[in-house]
Homo-oligomer: A and B are copies of this chain.
């Protein structure tokens, strides 16, 4: 179904290109119309697949949560502990920066969308089970949950927005890649040789 009139695979093409545009110019530079023009279709063609602009972003976010859940599941399967789940989290952000950005910016999304809700719930469940795998070593589980999630989310966000570079913090690591930075930094929380005890 690609005949000069029908594109054939417009939905996938839009998502792919949207991700690239968002990578380069951010979610606010993303124009549905210019994107359609670039793909050689009329400016309203994407509406039949996504409804409106927000629909494209919702689809990206849903796709993103699904892949994130998958990566976290795989990482847990490898038995690397929560630190490796964190590395997987940051790795996902690095590989899919546009998806990651959109996933966590609710002002871009329709939060009531059923598919999005399901995908996010699934990803969060993986995250929680990663923390729970720390077991009895942790005395304050809510704090461990927030601490673990926040530190990797923080690393991912600061890296993606270029703030790690601009602040000079990245230079301190002398060219180490992001997963190394993540291991050394997040390792201070839940190191490979066991977490610190949480003192009263």
Q: Which residues of A contact B (CB under 8 A)?
A: 25-29, 104-108, 111, 120, 124, 127, 140-147, 149-155, 157-158, 161-164, 166-169, 172-173, 181, 184-189, 191, 193, 195-196, 198-199
This chain: copies in complex: 2
Question: From residue A1, how far is it (CB to closest CB) to chain B in Å?
Answer: 34
A199 touches B191 (CB 8 A): yes
CA distance A124 to B138 in the complex (A): 32
Question: From residue A97, how far is it (CB to closest CB) to chain B in Å?
Answer: 11
From A26, A154, A172, residue with most partner B Cβ within 10 Å = A154
The 4 closest A-B pairs by CB, nearest first: A26-B107, A154-B154, A150-B154, A196-B196
Prevailing SS type, chain A contact patch: helix
